[in-house]
Amino acid sequence: MSYQRFAELTEQGESGVKTEEFESLFAPDADLYSPFLVKHVEGKSLTLQFMTEAFSNVGYPKYTHQFYNGTDTAVLLWESQGRVRGHQVQGTMVLTFDENGLIRAAKSYLRPLQVVNMLREYLFASAGAKLSSDYWKASPVGFAGDPSLLTHPTSQGNTVKSES
């Protein structure tokens, strides 16, 4: 199954992910859902570019558990082989396959949040120019500049506005 080969190649690091074999695991219309971006990346070429860039910043995984539903989805749990400023990064990669067994979507989840935020800065510095700003920004104004994002409904149906 290709999820096992995905795991083997990504654990090898750059020598595994920068190969034709790794590229051949992905469908032409593959998408990447990354915790670093607010919008998913579409298409095999851009997915592979961003995934390779992310691995080089986050570190290559060492898989601890792999689950497969027997049809079209694999869940891979991992820990980073190295440390980011002394912190271990842990994550989950959910792979969805098309009818030919090729990776159609890769969804990545990472922790801890503080390290993810730091890694996002590194990734933006190295890959920011490859993607437009709508991939990186949560709102056109930004959270600090948009106080309407600080409102939330209460249990009584009233809206509470946070004080700035």
Which amino acid, 85?
A: R
Is 159 part of any domain? no
State the residue range of the domain holding 77: 2-131
- Four-CA torsion 74, 23, 107, 102, nearest 10 degrees: -40
Q: Is the pLDDT of residue 139 over 80?
A: no
Query: How many structural domains does the chain have?
Result: 1
* Angle of CA points 68, 94, 46, to nearest 5°: 135
Is 31 part of any domain? yes
**pLDDT (tens digit per residue) in 145-160:** 455 554 555 555 555 4
**pLDDT (tens digit per residue) in 64-88:** 999 999 889 999 999 988 777 788 8
Is 146 part of any domain? no
Is 158 part of any domain? no
CA proximity to 22, closest of 33, 34, 8: 8
Here the CATH number for the domain that contains residue 27 is 3.10.450.50
- Is 108 within 8 Å of 96 (Cβ atoms)? no
Is 137 part of any domain? no
Is 68 part of any domain? yes
β-strands 103-111, 151-153 pairing:
unpaired
Is 23 part of any domain? yes
